[in-house]
Structure 1
Amino acid sequence: MNVLLRLLKYLRPSWKWVVFSGLLLVLGTVVDLVAPWLLKEVFDKGIGDRNTKMIIVFTLALAGIQVAKSIAMFFQGRSQELVGQNVVFKLREEMYAHLQRLSFSYYDKAQTGQLMSRMTGDIESVKNFIGFGAMAMFTGVLTFAGTIAFMLFMQWQVTLLSMATVPLLMYALYRFNKKVGPAWGQVREQMGKLTTTLQENISGIRVVKAFAREKVEQRKFEDRNADNFTTNMERAKLEAKAFPLMNFYGGIVFVTMAWFGALYVANDQMSFGTFMAFQWYTFGIIWPLNMLGWQINILQQAMKAAPRVFEVLDTPVDIAQEEAKSVDVKRIEGNVRFNDVAFHFADQDPENEEGVLEGITLDVKQGEVIAVLGATGSGKSSLIALMSRFYDVSRGTLTIDGVDVKDYELEGLRRKIGIVPQETFLFSATIRENIAYGVPEATQEQIEWAAGKAQIHSFIEGMPFGYDTIIGERGVGLSGGQRQRVALARAILMDPPILVLDEATASVDTATESAIHEELLEIMKGRTTFIIAQRLSSVKRADRIIVLDRGRIVQQGTHRDLFAQEGFFRNLFQMQEAAASR
């Protein structure tokens, strides 16, 4: 019930259309109720009294109200669809906006396929109920109640006798409703899993083919598809059992009415016109009850789909901006200080588990270039992620220019930190749009300047459409090194006071890397720069090198200082020197 009430709140912006649609629906129902009565009058006062004028009058009245009903139903259908589409529009808009606000910790666990399924199929199920099912239910109830009222008024004995099997039909509906709800819940869940499998396979198709795992992935998809098929067949089995039974009970209502109605006509206890009207009215009893089974299907789909949508909408935003504390980011110069910082992921116990980062104390002055080294999993990327508030520190404080990062306006803070991530992502758009993603108002001259600094301008100029060349999804069509350089140009164009290079040149050759670093020397002047790298050639110009091990700073100093010490830095230097000399 809570889910239903919450869904109905989305009707508020369209309440005028809901009222308009409801009034037209009532008009259509009234026409359906009056039509059999007019038919009765045709037989009783027209044919029975051999009154041609009455036959013409009532026949024209029947035709007239049917025309009026058709016009009303046209506008009612349009307004009803408008209501449903408004609900879908609002739900999708809210869900997408909330997904944009959710922090990295949510996406660390969320499955893209499940989110896509909720954004599309689940919301569509909600629309089917709000935009059609709910009104159809209302129509059915109104028609059922109105039909019984008219029949009781015209001949109450036959009406009561005819409805003897209606309780059985309603009991069958009750049993169907109890069983079909969980069945639709399983269908929605299996559809989400199937979408996830499909999304992962398409996104990772190059890996699949590289390892010749097509048949394995095909079997995985077939298993998911089979599970989806099985759950749908279980749901279909319920419908196959319930619908024929409901149709049977409905048929009994019709047969009973015909039997008793004929007897009452034969005994002059009921007019022939009333008997003919009852033939029509019977469908006003059978149709709503039989259709209710289908409408219950729509309702249960929505009731199982809506919680999946609301689950996303109700997910708390871990990294939220407190407007009262928002500090203007224009003052950011680039002085960064970590003071006894610790960081735990959401599923870690801060009391009993060691964090990804522990006891980090680091003071970085404006314009300083800091290199961060360490083995895989040592916490390098997590250290950088804290500055942009992709995650919040679990303990300690992180300040920029003496202000806690939590007190800065969030969007502005992130615009002041230009990041070239380890995993380069490019959109399916032109190269110009990808480079200017963070600064969409940038001029062509500025874009070319940034591309030149990233050593990618000459390559772009040589492409068939230059900067207007559209690259494929995730940057397909460019090599790994080219994608990295486009991402680097994107960060340079933002002109941020803090620049983060997370393995930014890992995919380029050493000659290109050297050229990029030469260009970056000018870019890094006066700019606080963090360089995460495994190649020592990437960090040789750093003012200071930080070595992380298991989330702690174990070495800190200049290139010369660390080479003089035993530890990770010297071992890495010796390994790379040995590899280069082979």
Structure 2
Amino acid sequence: MKTMMRIMVYVRPSAKWVVTAISIMVLATLIDLVAPWILREIFDKGIDKENMTVVFWLTLSLIGVQAIKSGAMFVQGYSQELVGQNVVFQLRKELYAHLQRLSFSYYDRAQTGQLMSRMTGDIDSVKNFVGFGAMNLFTGLLTFVGTVIFMMTMQWKVTLISLVTIPLILFVLWRFNHKVGPAWTNIREQMGRLTTTLQENISGIRVVKSFATEKVEERKFAERNEQNFETNMERAKLEARAFPQMGFYGGLTFVLMIWIGAIFVVRDEMTLGTFMAFQWYTWGIIWPLNMLGWQINIMQQAMKAAPRVFEVLDTKVDIASPTNGVNTDGMSGNVVFDNVSFYFDDQDQEKDKPILDRISFSVAKGEVIGVLGSTGSGKSSLIGLLSRFYDAASGRVLIDGIDVKDYDLDGLRKSIGIVPQETFLFSASIRDNIAYGSPDATQEQIENAARKSQIHDFIIGLPDGYNTRIGERGVGLSGGQRQRVALSRAILMDPPILVLDEATASVDTATESAIHEALLEVMEGRTTFIIAQRLSSIQHADRIIVLENGRIAEEGTHKELNDRGGFFSQLFNRQKQIAMQK
């Protein structure tokens, strides 16, 4: 009931269309109830009395009411679809907006395929119930009750005898409803897993082909597909059992009415016209109950799909912009990490080792900081806290003396230009990708940013230049080219803080050197963090921080660290030997 009431909240804005559809349904039901009565009059007052004038006018009226019904049904169908589509529109809008607000920690756990399944199939199931199932359920109930009332007023004895099979149909419906709900729960979950497998395969198709694991992926998908098939067949088996039983009992009702009605006609306890009307009315008893099975099916789909959608909508936004957040205009870029510790959400803070453990350091405006460390040392987490992709478990991250939690969130992130290690480009033009964070930038500004990242000459050499469209995730560009487009995107934002997370890892040594030279101008007066594995990437750093197991192991200038003989010195000597061997 809670799920149903929540769905109705999304129906409320379309209340006038719901009223329109229901009003037409009531009108159509009344026409369906009056039509058999007119048929009775045709037989009893027209044919039986050989009065063709009555037959003519009543037949004409029968045609008229059916024509009115047909016209009204057009408006009803449109109204129902509009209600359903409005619910879909609002649900998808809210779900998508909420997904934009959820933090990185949510996406660390979420499966893309499951989210896609909820955004599409699950919401469509809700729409089918709201726009079709619920209203037709009301129509069926109204038709059933109205039919019984009309029949009772004509011949109550035949009506009561004809209804003896109805409890059997209701029992089948009750049992079907009890079993089909769990079946649809399994189907929705299996569909989400199937979508996840498909999404991962398509996104990682280059890895699949590189390792020649197409057959392995085919087997994996086939397994998921078979599970989905078997789950659907279990549901189909329930329908195959229930619906024929309901059809049998419905047919039995029809036959029983004919037999009992014929006896009453022979005894002169029922007119022939009433008997003929009962043939028509009987369908008003049978079809609502048969359709009830399908409505239950649609309802159960929605009742199992809606909670999956609401589960995402109910996920708490754990990182949100504060009310009256501090404006970032004029931000200088003085950064302080004050005794900061950090855990991922799935970690136990009492038992597990922190990703960052009591980190403290300060960075002055315009200073270039190199951050080194082995894989898993916490380098990326450090930057994630700075941009508030995550919140620290303890301690504070300050920019210009203000806790990052107190800044307006959008302003904070626009003030930190990040070139991530895993470059993502959208399926759009190169111009749009570079200007993604600065949509109002001029062509001159876009080209200037591209020159600084050493990608301008390549772009103008393309057939459509900056208007060249690139494929999904930057397909069509090399890794180095994608990285330089991403670098252009960050440079164009002109942020007071710049973060280069392995920003030149995918380019050759010559290009890296050219980019570093160009970046000298970009980094001037701008606080810059350079996360790197290659020491050549941090040759212009004013200071270097070395992370090890989530803690600062070393800190100092290039010369100071090399003289100490620690991690930095070992890495420097190792890379120097490799360079000499080449």
Tell me if both proteins adopt one fold, taking TM over 0.5 as the criterion: yes
Cα deviation, residue 348, structure 1? 1.0
Please give the per-residue CA displacement for 1:36-87, whole angstroms capped at 9, x wherever unaligned: 0000000000011111111111111100000000011000110111010000
State whether structure 2 residue 531 is matched by structure 1 residue 532: yes
Correspondence for 1:364: 363
Q: Distance in 2 between matches of 1:75 and 1:186?
A: 36
State whether structure 2 residue 288 is matched by structure 1 residue 251: no
1:7-406 aligned within 5 A? 7-324=7-324, 326-406=325-405
Q: Distance in 2 between matches of 1:508 and 1:52?
A: 95
Q: Distance in 1 between matches of 2:353 and 2:363?
A: 25
Does the 8 Å contact 2:35/2:62 carry over to 1? yes
Correspondence for 2:509: 510
Q: Secondary structure at the match of 1:57?
A: helix
State whether structure 2 residue 427 is matched by structure 1 residue 428: yes
State whether structure 2 residue 415 is matched by structure 1 residue 416: yes
Q: Distance in 2 between matches of 1:352 and 1:229?
A: 43
1:520-559 aligned within 5 A? 520-559=519-558
Please give the per-residue CA displacement for 1:508-552, whole angstroms capped at 9, x wherever unaligned: 001100000000000001100000001101101100000000110
Q: Secondary structure at the match of 1:555?
A: strand
Q: Distance in 1 between matches of 2:454 and 2:82?
A: 52
Does the 8 Å contact 2:322/2:409 carry over to 1? no
Q: Distance in 2 between matches of 1:323 and 1:22?
A: 44
State whether structure 2 residue 559 is matched by structure 1 residue 560: yes
Cα deviation, residue 566, structure 1? 2.0
Q: Distance in 2 between matches of 1:44 and 1:154?
A: 13
Amino acid at match of 2:460: E
Q: Distance in 1 between matches of 2:131 and 2:335?
A: 53
Amino acid at match of 1:563: N
TM-score, normalised relative to structure 1: 0.99
Please give the per-residue CA displacement for 1:256-279, whole angstroms capped at 9, x wherever unaligned: 100000000000000000000000
Q: Distance in 2 between matches of 1:534 and 1:353?
A: 27
Q: Secondary structure at the match of 1:439?
A: coil
Q: Distance in 2 between matches of 1:580 and 1:517?
A: 19
Cα deviation, residue 176, structure 1? 0.2
Q: Structure 1: where are the runs of 5+ without partners?
A: none
State whether structure 2 residue 488 is matched by structure 1 residue 478: no
Q: Distance in 2 between matches of 1:403 and 1:573?
A: 36
Q: Distance in 1 between matches of 2:435 and 2:322?
A: 29
Does the 8 Å contact 2:340/2:393 carry over to 1? yes
Amino acid at match of 1:273: G
Q: Secondary structure at the match of 1:556?
A: strand
Q: Distance in 1 between matches of 2:171 and 2:327?
A: 65
Q: Distance in 2 between matches of 1:388 and 1:59?
A: 77
Q: Secondary structure at the match of 2:25?
A: helix
Correspondence for 1:464: 463
Q: Distance in 1 between matches of 2:6 and 2:150?
A: 36
Please give the per-residue CA displacement for 1:1-38, whole angstroms capped at 9, x wherever unaligned: 11011001101111111111110111111100100000
Correspondence for 1:580: 579
Cα deviation, residue 350, structure 1? 1.5
Please give the per-residue CA displacement for 1:75-115, whole angstroms capped at 9, x wherever unaligned: 01101110100000000000000000000000001000000
Q: Distance in 1 between matches of 2:496 and 2:481?
A: 25
Q: Distance in 2 between matches of 1:239 and 1:497?
A: 64
Q: Distance in 2 between matches of 1:530 and 1:56?
A: 92
Q: Distance in 2 between matches of 1:38 and 1:568?
A: 97
Q: Secondary structure at the match of 2:109?
A: coil
Please give the per-residue CA displacement for 1:280-337, whole angstroms capped at 9, x wherever unaligned: 000000000001101111000001100100010000001012214x111113110010
Q: Distance in 1 between matches of 2:150 and 2:331?
A: 77
Q: Distance in 2 between matches of 1:229 and 1:121?
A: 16
Q: Structure 2: where are the runs of 5+ without partners?
A: none
Q: Distance in 2 between matches of 1:10 and 1:466?
A: 46
Aligned residues: CA RMSD: 0.6
Cα deviation, residue 573, structure 1? 0.4
Q: Distance in 1 between matches of 2:59 and 2:422?
A: 75
Correspondence for 1:443: 442
Amino acid at match of 1:235: R
Amino acid at match of 1:516: I
Amino acid at match of 1:380: K
Amino acid at match of 1:331: G
Please give the per-residue CA displacement for 1:420-472, whole angstroms capped at 9, x wherever unaligned: 00100000000000000000111110000000000000000001110000000
Cα deviation, residue 352, structure 1? 2.1
**Which stretches of structure 1, 4 residues or longer, exceed 6 Å deviation after superposition?**
none
Q: Distance in 2 between matches of 1:343 and 1:332?
A: 25
Q: Secondary structure at the match of 1:358?
A: strand
Q: Secondary structure at the match of 1:564?
A: helix
Cα deviation, residue 351, structure 1? 2.0
How much identity, in percent, do the aligned residues show?
A: 69
Amino acid at match of 2:544: I
Q: What count of residue pairs does the alignment treat as equivalent?
A: 581
Q: Distance in 1 between matches of 2:533 and 2:160?
A: 86
Q: Distance in 1 between matches of 2:383 and 2:315?
A: 25
